Amino acid sequence: MYLKWINCRVSQADRPAFSAAQQAWRALGELDGFHGQFGGWSLDKPELACILGIWKHMASHKRFMSDTHDSITSKSGQDDLYETSVIEFMDLLFEIPGASGSPIHTLGSSILLRVVISHVHSNRQAHFVQMQKEIRNPGLTKLDGFMGGLFGRSDSDSDRFIAIMGWRDQSSHEHDEQNALVDLRDESSEEKDLRSRDVFRVALDPKWYVPSKTEA
């Protein structure tokens, strides 16, 4: 699968209009190859809107961009509602099991989304991925508030990875962030693998959730 991670910087005054304009993207749910989209506002940077789109593959996303994207954008009026945007594309490597059902579906029903972008030393890539599979994934799955997640690699920078994880509420995430997640990083020697890491904590807005037509 193909992951699209979007960050838009929005002024305080434009936040309500930007949020309302997200409703136009519900049209995505009828498109072939679309698997879901969800997002909300960053808890750490209130001006940052964070959105994750999930597609079957790059080809289905390219078809959307050429056939449908501009008409939805025009209808939403969002081009006038943000100051800057950053978009990254990632190829899914594997899912992170959590609550019952596919992580794609359980992420959409999460309350808090934690997204970690890791820039890994080139000679530590294999170790980083192995530790994700053997240490961090099983550890996350055991956490009571963990809903599931996705793990992928940038399609333009092989040293860049993304972990997308959902929690059922902010309090359980805060507890895990201060305890279990620290232990998992230490156990997997994660700091030795990393050049840098960016963490996004996003309060998901259910009105921004767009299920696929097979799920709706």
74 vs 200: CA distance, rounded Å = 28
Query: Residue 201's pLDDT is what?
Result: 97
When pLDDT is averaged across residues 124-134 and rounded to a whole number, the result is 97
> What pLDDT does residue 157 have?
95
pLDDT at 164: 97
Element (H, E) at 178: helix 170-178
Judging by beta carbons within 10 Å of its beta carbon (0-12, 13-18, 19+), is residue 206 exposed, middle or buried? exposed
For the chain, domains (ranges, CATH) are 2-211 (3.30.70.100)
C-beta of residue 146 within 8 angstroms of C-beta of residue 166: yes
Where residue 212 falls among pLDDT bands split at 50, 70, 90? confident
What was the pLDDT predicted at 103? 77
pLDDT at residue number 162? 97
Contact at 8 Å (CB) between 129 and 186? no
Among residues 141, 128, 119, 138, which one has the least CA distance to residue 189? 128
Query: What is the model's pLDDT at position 100?
Result: 66
pLDDT at 178 exceeding the cut of 90: yes
Residue 186 has pLDDT above 70, yes or no: yes
Residue 53 tokens, joined: 């789109």
Among candidates 162, 159, 161, which has minimal Cα distance to 124?
Answer: 159
Burial of residue 178 (CB within 10 Å: 0-12, 13-18, 19+) is: exposed
- Confirm whether pTM is higher than 0.85: yes
pLDDT at 111 over 90: yes
